[in-house]
Amino acid sequence: FVVSNRGKILHELVIGTADELARHAELMRRHPQMEHDEPNMTHVKPGAAGALLWTFDKAGDFAFACLVAGHYEAGMRGRIIVQ
């Protein structure tokens, strides 16, 4: 995945299940300064691009989202369907 940030604030792309991302978004909402760096995510500074190399080892319905505080709630999320 190549992620471009054309905005003026930090964004990120995190891959997981819908439930995992919803729980993590709530945690980030309560602790907005919490730092995290996992293999299933990339942080992208304003005006920059980032890359995430991820191998799906099974078929299924996965999700992605930006978990910067408030972004998930604003709709920055989507689905990945692996067949």
Q: What is the pLDDT of residues 31-45, one digit of tens each?
A: 888 888 899 999 999
Say what the pTM is.
0.89
Query: In this predicted model, what pLDDT tens digit does every residue of 43-71 receive, in sequence order?
Result: 999 999 999 999 999 999 999 999 998 89
Q: Residue 13 is encoded by which pair of tokens? A: 């792309």
The pLDDT of residue 35 is: 80
What confidence score (pLDDT) does residue 72 get?
93
- Residue 44, pLDDT score: 96
